[in-house]
Amino acid sequence: MKSTPLCLGFTICALFSSIACAKTCEIPVQTMNVAGLSVGQSIRDFQKLHPTVKQVVLGGDSYHLEFADEVDPQIKKTGVTWVDHIAYDLDTQVITSFSLSFLDGPMASYETDLDLFKDRILKKFKVPQKGWVQKNNKYIYQCDDYRIEIHQDYGAAHTAIGPTVMVFSKKSKIF
């Protein structure tokens, strides 16, 4: 089947759009962290700092680190109330994504304004300060190596997550 000029035009536009969206990270992936967690961090190094964390297989090729009490005291000191997930790559043994809840802790509750929650995250942790885009009830920062999402849904929906920070490396299945 022959390609029409219109289809070729859309293909070229899509290519340039995806290239234009890629950007250099304001903070390199090796130094960016939230509550002591970093994508690209070796699970061995993380386990040295958090000896109560255990490796678990959730089925298929989903490998995670979990705490028996959903969070350890060291991470809890940073304002995190529970760790939703810490995923890692089995082959490289590095963290590929994580999700941290701040619900009903010192940083936020369901009532905390999204902008205020974002400001608190930016002040407390080593994350990019510029380049955030707001979409509905979250802020997103995306660069070549990782994506950070700061969520606040105010408990409005049945699947409410409240004030949460999610970080995905480019090696994550969700990136």
How many domains, the chain?
A: 1
What per-residue confidence (pLDDT) applies to 89?
A: 93
Domain that holds residue 127: 27-169
pLDDT at residue 58 in the model: 83
What would you measure as the largest C-alpha separation in the chain, in angstroms?
Answer: 62
In a domain, 153, yes or no: yes
Residue 78 lies in a domain: yes
Does residue 7 form part of some domain?
no
In a domain, 13, yes or no: no
Beta bridge partner(s), residue 135: 138
Residue 168 to residue 32: CA distance in whole angstroms? 12
User: SS3 string of 133-175?
Assistant: EEECCEEEEECCCEEEEEECCCCCCCCCCCCEEEEEECCCCCC
End-to-end CA distance of the chain: 33
Tell me the backbone φ, ψ of residue 142, rounded to 5 degrees. Answer: -130, 135
pLDDT per residue, tens digit, the chain (175 aa), is: 444 444 334 333 343 433 445 689 999 998 999 999 999 999 999 999 999 999 998 877 789 999 988 899 999 999 999 999 999 999 999 999 999 999 999 999 999 999 999 999 999 999 999 999 999 899 999 999 999 999 998 877 666 789 999 999 998 877 7
Cα–Cα dist 124/118, whole Å: 10
Asked if residue 18 is part of any domain, the answer here is: no
Domain-embedded: residue 33: yes
pLDDT of residue 79: 96
pTM of the model: 0.84
Q: Would 3 be classed as within a structural domain?
A: no
